[in-house]
Amino acid sequence: MPETPVTFQPKPERRRPEAEDVPLSVLYEDEFLLAIDKPAGMVVHPTYKNWSGTLLNGLLWRVRDQGPIVPSIITRLDKQTSGLVLVALSAVIHAQVQRDAAAGLVKKEYLAVVEGAPSPDSGTIALPLARSPEDRRRVVVTDSGQPSETRYEVLSTTGDQSVVRCELVTGRTHQIRVHLAHNGWPIIGDEVYGTPHPSLNRQALHAWRLRLTHPVTRQPLEIEAPIPPDLRQVMADQNFTL
**Which amino acid is residue 149, in one-letter code?**
E
Query: Is 158 within 8 Å of 238 (Cβ atoms)?
Result: yes
Which residues does 203 contact at the CB level (< 8 Å), separation at least 6? Answer: 78, 80, 81, 177, 187, 188, 189, 190, 191, 194
Active-site annotation holder among 37, 65, 78, 135: 78
Q: Catalytic annotation on 78? A: yes
Beta bridge partners of 36: 26, 85
Which residues are marked as active site? 78
